[in-house]
């Protein structure tokens, strides 16, 4: 894309790399050995820079390479998040980037909005003699401290956050103990200084996630279902029945019970292996009395079968615990 854009009248070519250290060594050593084992991600970053610089030379275009260090902030998506975005309030820490290996490793996170704004300003300096500039923060934090900061900001237990952040490090590759950007060039060129502290970044990520989840949940309950899309109220009832907060299901069903195709909902729930949860919700919060007699009977059968299987599961664990010397069952 960079090449395509730069072939047009645009007089500058910019490549962004999200990290600097892995690529720097490769770029600096023009005779680097390709047989040296390197992390594929680091190689991809280095290749970005090779490509941008080579293309700039061939087309006589000014180039500016901005190396972004550990950007973090609201609205980040995908698997490349790490640091604060991984310490989320949802209870399910989504797969973090997993570049960080040990709890003692130190990283610096910079607010994504800050880095974007400053990257744009750096374009004005494209073509400088040294066209590589780091953008980041110098506020170092260990993975352990980052996990603690996340826990302070949202105290609900979500497992071992430090382990979650350490995540899936690829085998045989060493993570850097510290990664602190040298911001001298960015300061000299544009007076760069990060303005958002780590605690604020964490709070903003958490606020954004909470607001987003509320928005999505409320939209499911409150938006008027379309009359044209026949299964829509039914689909929403199914989705809401899965929510840990049962009030949404109750509110929606109270308003739209007559428009819900309960046989369809039950059939889909069975296909997705969530009929036990649906039947429990209907029994506890829904209109079991107002349902068609056949559907109500089937819901009750599902509920009874779920209770029976839970009892069998409990018996199984107890038998196993009794047969395993020195162990006791934790299932009660």
Partner 1 sequence: MAEQVYRDASRRRFADVDLVVHRDTLGRAEGVLRSLGYRLGQVDTLLAPPPKGPTEWRAAEASRAGFYERFEYELPFDAPRGAELLPVDLHWHVAPVSA
> Does 213 interact with partner 1 (rule: CB under 8 A)?
no
**Of 3-11, 182-190, 259-267, 318-326, which segment contacts partner 1 by CB under 8 A?**
318-326
Residue 212 or 331 with smaller CB distance to partner 1: 331
Among positions 276, 288, 295, 296, the unique one binding partner 1 when judged by CB under 8 A: 276
Q: Please state the closest distance from residue 158 (CB atom) to partner 1, in A.
A: 11
Q: Please state the closest distance from residue 46 (CB atom) to partner 1, in A.
A: 26
111-118: long-range contacts (C-beta < 8 A, 24 or more apart)? Answer: 111/71, 111/72, 111/73, 111/194, 111/195, 111/196, 111/200, 111/201, 111/204, 112/71, 112/72, 112/73, 112/75, 112/76, 113/73, 114/194, 114/195, 114/196, 115/68, 115/71, 118/186, 118/190, 118/192
Q: How far apart are CA 80 and CA 95, in angstroms?
A: 9
> Does 128 interact with partner 1 (rule: CB under 8 A)?
no
Residue 47, H or E segment: helix 40-59
* Contacts with partner 1, 9-48, as mask; x by CB under 8 A: ----------------------------------------
Among positions 77, 258, 323, 328, the unique one binding partner 1 when judged by CB under 8 A: 323
Residue 17 or 280 with smaller CB distance to partner 1: 280
Among positions 273, 289, 293, 326, the unique one binding partner 1 when judged by CB under 8 A: 273
Among positions 71, 198, 280, 285, the unique one binding partner 1 when judged by CB under 8 A: 280
Give which of 146, 233, 229, 140 is closest to 183, Cα–Cα: 140
Give which of 86, 178, 75, 192 is closest to 136, Cα–Cα: 192
Residues 283-312 that bind partner 1 (CB under 8 A): 303, 306-307, 309-310, 312
Residue 4 or 273 with smaller CB distance to partner 1: 273
> Does 79 interact with partner 1 (rule: CB under 8 A)?
no
**Of 80-88, 125-133, 141-149, 276-284, which segment contacts partner 1 by CB under 8 A?**
276-284
Among positions 265, 275, 282, 299, the unique one binding partner 1 when judged by CB under 8 A: 275
> Does 320 interact with partner 1 (rule: CB under 8 A)?
yes
Q: How far apart are CA 126 and CA 183, in angstroms?
A: 17
> Does 238 interact with partner 1 (rule: CB under 8 A)?
no
DSSP one-letter string for 21-38:
HHHHHHHH-TT--TTS--
> Does 313 interact with partner 1 (rule: CB under 8 A)?
yes
Total binding residues for partner 1 by CB under 8 A?
22
**HEC string for 96-164:** CCCCCCCCCCEEECEEHHHHHHHHHHHHHHCCCCCCEEEECCCCEEEHHHHHHHHHHHCCCCCCCHHHH
> Does 187 interact with partner 1 (rule: CB under 8 A)?
no
Q: How far apart are CA 84 and CA 109, in angstroms?
A: 8
Binding footprint of partner 1 on the chain (CB under 8 A): 273-277, 280, 303, 306-307, 309-310, 312-317, 319-320, 323-324, 331
């Amino acid at each position: 894309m960079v090449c395509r854009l730069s072939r047009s009248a645009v007089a500058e070519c910019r490549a962004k790399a999200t990290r600097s250290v892995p690529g720097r060594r490769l770029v600096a050593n023009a005779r680097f050995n390709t047989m040296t084992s390197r992390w594929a991600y680091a190689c991809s970053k280095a290749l970005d820079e090779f490509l941008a610089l080579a293309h700039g030379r061939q087309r006589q275009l000014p180039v500016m390479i901005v190396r972004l260090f550990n950007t973090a902030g609201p609205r980040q998506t995908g698997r490349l998040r790490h640091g604060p975005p991984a310490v989320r309030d949802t209870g399910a820490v989504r797969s973090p980037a997993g570049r960080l290996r040990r709890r003692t490793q130190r990283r610096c996170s910079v607010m994504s909005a800050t880095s974007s704004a400053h990257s744009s300003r750096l374009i004005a300096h494209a073509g400088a003699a040294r066209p590589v500039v780091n953008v980041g923060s110098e506020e170092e934090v260990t993975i352990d401290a980052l996990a603690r900061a996340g826990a302070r900001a949202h105290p609900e237990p979500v497992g071992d956050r430090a382990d979650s952040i350490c995540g899936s490090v690829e085998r045989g590759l060493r993570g850097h103990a510290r990664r602190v950007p040298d911001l001298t060039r960015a300061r000299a060129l544009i007076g760069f200084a990060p303005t958002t502290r780590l605690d604020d970044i964490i709070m903003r990520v958490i606020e954004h996630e909470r607001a987003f989840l509320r928005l999505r949940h409320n939209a499911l309950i409150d938006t008027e279902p379309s009359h044209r899309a026949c299964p829509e109220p039914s689909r929403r009832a199914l989705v809401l029945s899965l929510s840990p907060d049962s009030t949404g299901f109750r509110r929606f069903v109270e308003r739209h019970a007559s428009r819900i195709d309960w046989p369809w909902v039950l059939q889909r729930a069975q296909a997705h292996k969530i009929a036990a949860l649906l039947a429990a919700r209907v029994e506890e919060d829904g209109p079991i009395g107002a349902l068609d007699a056949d559907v109500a009977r089937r819901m009750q059968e599902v509920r009874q079968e779920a209770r029976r299987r839970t009892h069998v599961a409990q018996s199984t664990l107890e038998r196993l615990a009794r047969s395993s010397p020195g162990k006791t069952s934790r299932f009660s």
